[in-house]
Structure 1
Amino acid sequence: MRSWVYKFKTTPRWIRFLFLTAALLSAPVAVSAADIRVAASVDNTEITLEDVFNLKVVVEGTQQAPEPEPPTLPDFKIRSGGRSSSLQVINGQRTASTTFSYQLIPTQPGNFTIGPFTLKIDGNPYITAPIQITVRKQESSAPSESVVFAEVSVPTHQPYVNELLPLTLKVYRKVDVRNVNVELPLDAFRKQELGPPKQYHRVLKGVRYDVYEWNMALYPLRPGKATVPPALIELDVVEQKPSERKRPLDPFFNDPFFQSPFFQNQYQLKHKILRTEPIELDVLPLPETNRPDPFSNLVGQFKIDATLSRTQLDQGDTLTLTVTVEGEGNPQDAVLHLPDAGALFKVYPDQPQFTRSGGDDTIAGKKVFKYALVPLASGTLTFPAIRLAYFDPRAHTYRTVHSEPLSLTVTPVENAASLQTVEPQTGAPDVRPSLQSPVEDINPIHTRREDFSDQSTGSGFWIPVALGLLLPPAAFLIFARLHRQRQRLQFDTAYKRRVTAFTQAEQRLNRLAAECNGDDRKTVQELSQIVRAYIGDRLNLQGTAFTPGEVEEQLRNRNFKEEQITATRQLLDKYEILQYAAGQHSDPETLLAESRRLLETLEAA
């Protein structure tokens, strides 16, 4: 014991200091209810609809506080930003705290009361004090005065029911933005995407903007008043911080190169919410006057064509009737009503197939119907014309198109009677054999007793028996497992995101590698989005607007290895430096390979 004391005293002072500090930090702390304090705060008490509240609930006195229960806030969307813990030692006194972060997104202007948040620690309840906040409506300003704004448009405000209504959403920006997310609830419409988002440049009143554009097709479902609700666009605006260090007497360090974010860390992300104006629609009903019968609610402009696979065949053979409906509007909803040809043909329909075409402002395509025809007579037969009725919204009237009648020649066959349905015979013919050869009649003759023993239970008999007994339960277990996994993928969103995260990220990486056009900054931006989206799906985090520090904390809370956490933090920091630091360049292929290795490492964890 004395030798250990002697060795400790002879140890250098800085090592003894570190040892005592580690022992002090690792010692348990007795926390009483009187030592615990809970408080909530926001970063701003007055914002506009374009901003968000960052709220923190701080629990002082413990690092093991449970998640607080948030209040009911119908006028806000609440997003959790995770938790963080801290421990400070000042003059031998330790102070522990836990901080829970939230993001509140307002949905309408007004004065509101936030709180209280409630939680229980060791059976004792704690609540935060309420916070009064104000949300103001964003003051309208000219587009040229805004660094980022959004607009939505439709070609008409009086569409018909089931008429194709193209909708265009555009986000204009003249600053760098990140993590763009669009939300547009359209419960009163049937919608369909019109191609992938586009990105281009546009000049408005002498100001150059970068434009993100989304296009989708809307189909009104009911006549009467309808509203296209405001689109909610969330994004992070990259803002430049003012330099804190001025060197007016040193022109060398006043060079813009040394004032870049790489040297001064002069950028920050500001989360913004853009909302478009709602669009009021007066959906017109399809007129009752002159409505054709039958009519399958087809709206647009269409044409129809019909062909036969052959025009000459023998009686009893079959041929294929192909009917193509092509046009613009809602061709995928086309339904055919064939004319009655029961006396001449037997008709067997096949599953129709739809192929979409058209650009970013319309839906066009063709729907192909196929039928198997069996002629019931011989000679020259004619399949009647096929009619298709639709409503033309441009002409505000119903139209009917039809195919041409189709003729074919059916050649009779000599044994045509054999083509008729054969009924089973009621009487059995007498097929008793002759008894002239009695030896062949009773052949073979068995004279040994062993010939009458059961020879079917040898070694080869039990193999199929065992397979027959084991395969059904094994197949049932495999099916049950697949069914449970399918059900979980359908109803467990977090599990589905985790399972499909790597596949989606790998597909995006392969697509980026194939489409790489030499734009280093754009490649880095896309890689950052891919990695952040993977981390968000893998950890079930909302959005992708999290900092490298927050990612590091989330990975550590989920017990990832330290080398994986460090590699992830370094790569995310590298993305930000390459995007926003002046004069920085990267090798896209090397960065792609590094990103792929990181995702594979995280997926294997």
Structure 2
Amino acid sequence: SLSTEMHNGKEYKVGVLKKAALFPSQLGELSVTPMVLSIPVQIQQRQGGNGNVFDQFFNDPFFNNYRTVNFTAKSNTIKLQVMPLPSKGVPPSFNGAVGDYSLSSAVSAVNVKENNPLTFTVTLKGQGNIQLLSMPDFTLPTGFDKYEPKVSQQISRDGTISGTKTFEYLIVPRVAGKKEIPSLKFSYFNPEKRSYITLSTPPYPINVEPGASTGNTTVAGYSKEDIKLLGEDIHYIKTSSSDLRKRVGFTEFGAGFWSAVVLPLFALGGLITWKRRNDKLAGNLELLRYRRAEKIARGRFKSAKKLMDAGDQRGFYAEISQALFGYLEDKLHIPKSEMSLDRAVDELQKRSVDGELVSSLRSCTEKCEFARFAPAGDGAGAMNEMYNELTKVIVGIERTLSVKKHA
């Protein structure tokens, strides 16, 4: 929705194009790159004349003597100074959380039987970067099995980033007796109070009752699962050889023998090569992102095609914009915090990508960003044209970078 504002004595219609929550990840002075839009603007053009009555008549606004020009609008650059967190008084349970939070917990039962699971739920609620919150690990007493938590979150972006994040731990008691789930601590830095705050859950006493006698009782610290019956473990020794016969026609080093020796070696060599390649990719995140960039972009383009077929213009342009910028971030090794159209163009020019292809990329990006907020009347035709143009751009960039890499 648009609002009306006065600026330098003139009335303007004002609308918010984009809002984003920023969480700095490094110290020092940071810049928020400006937003650039190419906007079609109608300008009234006056016909030259001699000041006679006919010129005055045809210069009347009624005749709509307008022409459309492209105006490039660019927002200001915002400078931010990111300060370090205090180095004194850092609690042991602090793992980087900043904001304002509350902590609550619950257990599904305090009286359980052996091998019957219970759920230990921890909920964080407040304002901050909810998505990156994590709970410190904790140790249960002997006799408990703990599994990786099921994590769920609900994030609200209404003005401030807030929400809840829930960790559900599945715990299985294995030994009967009086047990206790220890207190769990969570620490964060509160920027308003400029101090570290530690929250903790209460300890939960758990009464583990013996289960039914289904083979889960313990003997000298070992469960029956760990003990095999002697009669099933050792076979009787044969004392007679009357049923043994000499095998005839057996070749000691036949084709089967060599196949059994050589084929595992080839398989082992292939496995080692595959493992080294995977380890190389896992250790080099930039290489991994580079190789997966085109595949991820292809998947997003398929999603955009479905939105185009459904006639969802806003969804289509948002998805295809994310596909393009995500591809450029991964392919050109540009961090998300530093990604901008100008930066991507500079990187492509450094890699000697064809100037016409770069110009097409810039033009498509500007059209796409404008269409996200002002959809065209001919929605289906514009979306199809944008889809084909961006497909050609990404294919062209992919071919160029592949040739440069293998050259």
Report the TM range for the smaller structure's normalisation: 0.5 to 0.7
How has the CA–CA distance of structure 1 residues 490 and 209 changed in structure 2, closer, same or farther, with 3 Å as cutoff?
same
User: Aligned partners of 1:446 and 1:410: how far apart in 2?
Assistant: 56
Equivalent residue for 1:467, pick from 256, 259, 263: 263
Which residue of structure 1 lines up, in the alignment, with residue 77 of structure 2?
Answer: 275
Matched, 1:323 2:124: no
User: Aligned partners of 1:213 and 1:473: how far apart in 2?
Assistant: 53
SS in structure 2 at match of 1:233: coil
The AA in structure 2 aligned to 1:474 is: G
Which residue of structure 2 lines up, in the alignment, with residue 210 of structure 1?
Answer: 15
The AA in structure 2 aligned to 1:231 is: V
Q: CA deviation at 1:591?
A: 3.2
User: Aligned partners of 1:452 and 1:528: how far apart in 2?
Assistant: 70
| Higher mean C-alpha displacement, 324-333 vs 526-535 | 526-535
Q: CA deviation at 1:442?
A: 0.9
SS in structure 2 at match of 1:467: helix
**Alpha carbon RMSD of aligned pairs, Å?**
5.7
Q: CA deviation at 1:327?
A: 1.7
The AA in structure 2 aligned to 1:346 is: G
Which residue of structure 2 lines up, in the alignment, with residue 383 of structure 1?
Answer: 180
How has the CA–CA distance of structure 1 residues 543 and 445 changed in structure 2, closer, same or farther, with 3 Å as cutoff?
closer
How has the CA–CA distance of structure 1 residues 466 and 514 changed in structure 2, closer, same or farther, with 3 Å as cutoff?
farther
User: Aligned partners of 1:228 and 1:269: how far apart in 2?
Assistant: 31
Q: CA deviation at 1:382?
A: 4.6
The AA in structure 2 aligned to 1:357 is: Q
Q: CA deviation at 1:498?
A: 6.2
Which residue of structure 2 lines up, in the alignment, with residue 83 of structure 1?
Answer: none
Q: CA deviation at 1:209?
A: 0.4
SS in structure 1 at match of 2:14: strand
Q: TM-score, normalised by structure 1?
A: 0.43
Pairing 1:159-174 to 2, within 5 Å after superposition:
none
User: Aligned partners of 1:277 and 1:373: how far apart in 2?
Assistant: 52
SS in structure 2 at match of 1:593: helix
How has the CA–CA distance of structure 1 residues 506 and 534 changed in structure 2, closer, same or farther, with 3 Å as cutoff?
farther
The AA in structure 2 aligned to 1:592 is: M
User: Aligned partners of 2:323 and 2:181: how far apart in 1?
Assistant: 60
The answer to whether the 8 A contact 2:301-2:323 is kept is yes
User: Aligned partners of 2:290 and 2:238: how far apart in 1?
Assistant: 79
Pairing 1:352-363 to 2, within 5 Å after superposition:
352-360=149-157, 361-363=160-162
Which residue of structure 2 lines up, in the alignment, with residue 592 of structure 1?
Answer: 383
SS in structure 2 at match of 1:334: coil
Pairing 1:46-445 to 2, within 5 Å after superposition:
200-205=1-6, 207-216=12-21, 218=23, 229-236=30-37, 238=39, 243=45, 246=48, 249=54, 259-261=65-67, 266-270=68-72, 272=74, 274-276=76-78, 278=80, 295-296=93-94, 300-308=100-108, 311-314=111-114, 317=115, 319-329=117-127, 332-335=133-136, 337=138, 342=141, 345-360=142-157, 361-370=160-169, 372-378=171-177, 381-383=178-180, 386-388=183-185, 393=190, 400-402=200-202, 404-411=204-211, 413=213, 416=217, 418=219, 420-421=221-222, 441-445=240-244
Which residue of structure 2 lines up, in the alignment, with residue 454 of structure 1?
Answer: 251
How has the CA–CA distance of structure 1 residues 481 and 353 changed in structure 2, closer, same or farther, with 3 Å as cutoff?
same
How has the CA–CA distance of structure 1 residues 245 and 585 changed in structure 2, closer, same or farther, with 3 Å as cutoff?
farther
Structure 1 stretches lacking a partner, 5+ long: 1-199, 436-440
The answer to whether the 8 A contact 2:106-2:120 is kept is yes
Which residue of structure 1 lines up, in the alignment, with residue 399 of structure 2?
Answer: none
Q: CA deviation at 1:420?
A: 3.2
Q: CA deviation at 1:207?
A: 3.9
How has the CA–CA distance of structure 1 residues 587 and 453 changed in structure 2, closer, same or farther, with 3 Å as cutoff?
same
Q: CA deviation at 1:434?
A: 8.3
How has the CA–CA distance of structure 1 residues 254 and 509 changed in structure 2, closer, same or farther, with 3 Å as cutoff?
farther
The AA in structure 2 aligned to 1:355 is: S
The AA in structure 2 aligned to 1:453 is: F
The AA in structure 1 aligned to 2:381 is: T
Q: CA deviation at 1:323?
A: 3.2
Alpha-carbon displacement from aligned partner over 1:482-510 (angstroms, at most 9, x marks no partner): 56667777159887766755554554454
Which protein, 1 or 2, shows the higher relative CO under an 8 Å CA cutoff with sep ≥ 6? 2
The answer to whether the 8 A contact 1:488-1:495 is kept is no
Q: CA deviation at 1:259?
A: 3.4
User: Aligned partners of 1:542 and 1:398: how far apart in 2?
Assistant: 39
Of Structure 1 and Structure 2, which has the larger fraction of its residues in strand?
1
The answer to whether the 8 A contact 1:301-1:390 is kept is no
% of aligned pairs identical? 8
Q: CA deviation at 1:216?
A: 1.9
How has the CA–CA distance of structure 1 residues 595 and 236 changed in structure 2, closer, same or farther, with 3 Å as cutoff?
closer
The AA in structure 1 aligned to 2:387 is: R
How has the CA–CA distance of structure 1 residues 465 and 215 changed in structure 2, closer, same or farther, with 3 Å as cutoff?
same
SS in structure 1 at match of 2:143: strand
Alpha-carbon displacement from aligned partner over 1:420-465 (angstroms, at most 9, x marks no partner): 33799xxxx9987586xxxxx2133436xx627336735x555555
User: Bigger radius of gyration, 1 or 2?
Assistant: 1
How has the CA–CA distance of structure 1 residues 433 and 509 changed in structure 2, closer, same or farther, with 3 Å as cutoff?
closer
User: Aligned partners of 2:218 and 2:320: how far apart in 1?
Assistant: 75
User: Aligned partners of 2:181 and 2:2: how far apart in 1?
Assistant: 55
Of Structure 1 and Structure 2, which has the larger fraction of its residues in helix?
2
SS in structure 1 at match of 2:161: coil
Aligned residues: 353
Alpha-carbon displacement from aligned partner over 1:50-102 (angstroms, at most 9, x marks no partner): xxxxxxxxxxxxxxxxxxxxxxxxxxxxxxxxxxxxxxxxxxxxxxxxxxxxx
| Higher mean C-alpha displacement, 360-369 vs 392-401 | 392-401
How has the CA–CA distance of structure 1 residues 390 and 453 changed in structure 2, closer, same or farther, with 3 Å as cutoff?
closer
Which residue of structure 1 lines up, in the alignment, with residue 312 of structure 2?
Answer: 516
The AA in structure 2 aligned to 1:405 is: P
How has the CA–CA distance of structure 1 residues 346 and 493 changed in structure 2, closer, same or farther, with 3 Å as cutoff?
closer
Which residue of structure 2 lines up, in the alignment, with residue 184 of structure 1?
Answer: none
User: Aligned partners of 1:326 and 1:319: how far apart in 2?
Assistant: 23
Q: TM-score, normalised by structure 2?
A: 0.59
User: Aligned partners of 1:294 and 1:535: how far apart in 2?
Assistant: 39
The AA in structure 2 aligned to 1:442 is: S
User: Aligned partners of 1:412 and 1:525: how far apart in 2?
Assistant: 61
